[in-house]
Structure 1
Amino acid sequence: MEVFYYMVFGFLALIVALLELSKTAKDRIATSSAFNSFKNNYLLVYSLMMAGDWLQGPYVYFLYSQYGFDKGDIGRLFIAGFGSSMLFGTIVGSLADKQGRRRACVTYCITYILSCITKHSPEYKVLMLGRILGGIATSLLFSAFESWLVAEHNKRGFEPQWLSLTFSKAIFLGNGLIAIVSGLFANLLADNLGFGPVAPFDAAACLLAIGMAIILSTWGENYGDPSDSKGLLTQFKGAAVAIASDEKIALLGAIQSLFEGSMYTFVFLWTPALSPNDEDIPHGFIFATFMLSSMLGSSIASRLMARPALKVEAYMQIVFAVSAVTLLLPIITNFLVTPSSVKGGGISFGGSILIFGFCTFEACVGIFWPSIMKMRSQYIPEEARSTIMNFFRIPLNIFVCVVLYNVNAFPITVMFGMCSIFLFMASILQRRLMVVAESHKSKPQDWTALRTQDEEAEALNI
């Protein structure tokens, strides 16, 4: 069976290499040297930030189990992380619009470094504190950096289309190549060199410190709305008004929550789906194959977004539909392929089919990230970008917490079927977003006027 894994990995690596090497002038965007310098600086920082995150992933559960905690204790720690991201992370992330996005990025580094340090303690309360800090850091990672990039890109007067180039490269590196290298490096530190499961967390802290030093020395500050007259509650209200008054933003938030909720559920389900009878599967190698598939998707996305005539809103409908079909495969194979009842052994025939389907889903994930980033840069108002982006994460975190709490309550096929339905819903909402965006093209939303009206109404209520 090892030959099978090598064949899948090699085939995907070959496709990625061919896609990157075969790019023509039509697939590339002509840019300036100033932009390339700016882009490379951001990609270096973003890669270090993502490496700090990916290094921890393979050993979090294992470390907790080594400290003697059972599945229920570990589950509560994970729920605490997502709950923290929903509650505290939303508040801290929203402060980026007011206090500065660069400052928020530095806060991410400090918070995550502190989270890594707590992993040295076997005390449950200390580990719980680490999960809370990690939840806050996650919210900042997925809002502050993108908000800083978009604002700084526009402030420097670069072409709007060039943003898609930075987005696709960031996902190609951060969610692809860096994830693979980080997984292998974590394995080298913890197992091959014998430093133990805490070593990847120490390495992550070092990389985050290096990234923080680069941010402090090379990045400028930018804000959403730095007005001293606006409190945090007013910011939340303004973001809620923006979402409620613009259907495009509301649709974008719903699409993001549906897709990311399904994606995080998939992260918990792929292992039991491929080894229902405790089959011996190479988890690290399969994870690397999934990340390679994500790289393939981001490479495809860069080609798609390089064509001005091809709208993101159009092709993402197909991406969501394809991803929905791939997560139906566990249900289909359960009916068509006779499941094995033999404990242990290698991966089954049905599992081999699922690997191809799951790789396709990960390719869709690779297309999703830069594409959703581009749509957010187009539809979310600059003054409340971080706040609104963290609003989007509230239903996502609620959904993941519910799934984690009930992961053993439903058969795995029911969970996959639920995710597939959510993805079909995302495809339908994406179609609606395209229609609404086309109809509003000639009538852009006046955010300044909307904000003024809201403040006047608030004053009258007082």
Structure 2
Amino acid sequence: MMTIVYAGFLAFGLVALVLQILAYRTRTDVSVGNNPQFLKFQRGYFAVYLVAMFADWLQGPYLYKLYSYYGFQEAQIAVLYVFGFASTVIIGMWAPMAADQFGRKKLCLAFTVLYSLSCFLKLFRSYGILIIGRIIGGVATSVLFSAFEAWYVHEHIESHDFPKEWIAVTFSRASTWNGILAVTAGLITNVVSEWFGMGPVAPYMLAIPCLVLAGVLVSTHWTENYSSHKTKFRKMCGDGFKGILSSEMIFMVGAIEALVESVIYIVIFLWTPILEPSKPSLGIVFSCFMASILAGQGLFQILSSRHFEVPILLITSCGISLVGTMLCVSSTHPGNANTNLSFIALCIFEFAVGIYFPAMGYLRSHIIPEQHSWSIMSWFRVPINLISCIVLMLLHEDVFLHGNRMIFVVCSILLLLSLLSAFRLLRLWKENESSRQETVLMTSEHIHNIF
């Protein structure tokens, strides 16, 4: 299998490079965001944020392998993943408000401590300690995708008075560097874990110095900032829920997000046990997946710059991802598994994910009212995690213990529903075309953490 993995990495890496270069050349105004003071401020943010993200990416390729190395069975590992997902969604609804009220710098520092502790707990073979580590890691991840960006937006607007439109420039550049770092992280974890023979716990020990560095940079170079107004958690949640029910377009965005991203979470868990029988280099496989995402992201930027309607690109993404999971249904047939086909199918799926995240980010920014975006998107995360946790817990049932084929059948059904929902959203989009806003604000969370 390693031959096809290396070939896939070279192929998707080359495609991603070409598409990203072409996407870069499609920028309509290369002078936007090139102010020297802005670039200096932006580099200061990237120095911290990208180091923190790199530490996060280092933890992607070998998580399942680590738990398996400790002797846990697939159903037990699924429970560990469920605890991580659940803590992410529970704390994710509170983290943005905590960052606003207690201080974003403080919460960013708390992230570096919590995530370092989560990595350190990976050294223990105790199932209970590993569960605690997963919960702490889920909390830290929630902070990563709230406090850092909230700090940046406040400093960008309030402290430096840069144009609001330049925020999208920073997050767009961050997303590209994120993809490059993800590919690099996969290669590095492969070197330390397999070539140097340090085992699957090595990437987590490597992540700790990165987190310490991020914490030092935050404490010495960042200033504290707070929200200018206090918000009540109950009122925000209530307003968000009412907003979802009051607009069919918002509801359809949430439905598509829940269906697609729950499948993404499931694939995060399944890709290692599916490919493991062929003993691939997991770091290289991970890098190949990340290159596939970069390729999809580049294609989205090219097509959207040529005035392809974003809902159509979302439909394309849902359709391609459905093809990927249907191929996995075939390749994971009990007694006749084909890991080569599974690898190709997963690369196709990740390519679709690369199109999906910027498309969904664009649609959310145009459809969801800005004043309710946090509360509405927090509600969206509930069904995402609920669906993925339920499906993973089904691994305890006898019907699912003879391979993962039925899991991919469920994933295919979810993606088929998302495809139908995307067609409905396209129709609503055309009906409401005249009333939409003309600007878009994308965050790096829209393209992150596929793993």
Report the TM-score, using the length of structure 2 for normalisation: 0.81
* Alignment partners' CA distance in 2, 1:300 and 1:223: 38
- When residues 436 and 36 of structure 1 are mapped into structure 2, their CA distance, relative to the original with a 3 A threshold, is farther
Question: 1:311-345, CA deviations, whole angstroms, 9 ceiling, x for partnerless residues?
Answer: 3223211111121122111335679xxx976xxxx
Alignment CA distance shift 1:164-1:356 (3 Å)? farther
| Mapping of residues 43-442 of structure 1, within 5 Å | 43-99=46-102, 101-148=104-151, 156-158=161-163, 160=165, 165-174=169-178, 176-193=179-196, 195-217=198-220, 226-227=229-230, 230-274=231-275, 278-307=277-306, 309-332=307-330, 350-407=338-395, 409-410=399-400, 412-440=404-432, 442=434
- Whole-angstrom distance in 1 between the partners of 2:98 and 2:190: 36
Q: How far is 1:262 from its partner? A: 0.9
Change beyond 3 A, Cα 1:195–1:324 = closer
**Kept after mapping to 2: 8 A contact 1:111/1:134:** yes
Say which is worse superposed, 48-57 or 68-77, in terms of deviation.
68-77
Answer whether contact 2:55 2:207 (CA < 8 A) is retained.
yes
SS of match in other structure, 2:94: helix
**CA-atom RMSD in angstroms:** 3.4
Q: Could you tell me whether the CA contact under 8 Å between 1:169 and 1:298 is conserved in 2?
A: no
Assess, with a 3 A threshold, how the Cα gap between structure 1 residues 164 and 393 changes in structure 2: closer, same or farther: same
Deviates more, 1:126-135 or 1:238-247: 238-247
8 A Cα contact 2:95 2:146, kept in partner: no
- Output the CA distance in 2 between the equivalents of 1:312 and 1:153: 28
How much does 1:17 deviate? 2.5
Question: Equivalent residue of 2:383, what SS?
Answer: helix
How has the CA–CA distance of structure 1 residues 163 and 407 changed in structure 2, closer, same or farther, with 3 Å as cutoff?
farther
Q: Would the aligned equivalents of 2:12 and 2:291 in 1 still touch at CA under 8 Å? A: yes
Distance 1:438 1:218 in 2: 47
Question: Distance between the aligned counterparts of 1:85 and 1:79, measured in 2?
Answer: 10
1:360 & 1:25 partners in 2: Cα distance?
Answer: 25
Alignment partners' CA distance in 2, 1:300 and 1:319: 11
- Aligned with 1:32: secondary structure? coil
Deviations 1:344-376 (A, max 9, x none): xxxx8x543443332121111112223323333
| Aligned equivalents of 1:305, 1:148: Cα separation in 2 | 29
> Does structure 1 retain, via aligned residues, the 8 Å contact 2:190–2:281?
no
Q: Which runs of 5+ in 1 are unaligned?
A: 342-347, 446-462
Question: Does the Cα contact within 8 Å between 2:239 and 2:375 map onto a contact in 1?
Answer: no
Identity rate, percent: 33
CA distance in 2, matches of 1:384, 1:216: 31
User: What are the Cα deviations for residues 189-232 of structure 1, in whole angstroms up to 9, with x where unaligned?
Assistant: 344445554442232122123223444555566666722xx432
Supply the distance in 1 between the matched residues of 2:174 and 2:24 (Cα, whole angstroms): 20
Task: Quote the offset at 1:143 in angstroms.
Answer: 4.0
**Distance change >3 Å, CA 287–CA 58, structure 1 → 2:** closer
Q: Deviations over 1:218-256 (max 9, x none)?
A: 5566666722xx432222222222322233333222221
Contact persistence 1:115–1:130 (CA under 8 A): yes
Conserved in 2, the CA contact under 8 Å of 1:294 and 1:365? Answer: yes
Preserved CA contact (<8 Å) 1:81 1:134: yes
Cα separation, partners in 2 of 1:23 and 1:397, compared to 1, 3 Å: closer
In structure 2, what is the Cα distance between the partners aligned to 1:274 and 1:82?
22
Q: Encode CA deviations 1:24-45: one digit per residue, 9 max, x unaligned.
A: 7434542132354455444443
Residue in structure 2 matched with residue 7 of structure 1 by the alignment: 7
Q: Which moved more, 1:313-322 or 1:213-222?
A: 213-222
Specify every segment of 5 or more residues in structure 2 that has no aligned partner in the other structure, as ranges. 438-451
8 Å Cα contact 2:115/2:137 also seen in 1: yes
In our comparison, the structure showing a higher alpha carbon Rg is 1
> Contact 2:263/2:414 (CA < 8 Å) preserved in 1?
yes
The secondary structure found in structure 1 opposite 2:229 is coil
C-alpha change, 1:23 and 1:325, in structure 2 (3 Å) is closer
Note the C-alpha offset of 1:300.
1.8
The letter of the residue matching 1:367 is I
Tell me if structure 2 keeps the 8 A contact 1:172–1:294: no
* Contact residue 171 and residue 366 of structure 1 kept, 8 A: no
Q: CA deviation at 1:260?
A: 1.0
Query: How far, CA to CA, are the matches of 1:438 and 1:101 in structure 2?
Result: 39
Residue 455 of structure 1 is matched in structure 2 by: none
Query: What is the TM-score with the length of structure 1 in the denominator?
Result: 0.79
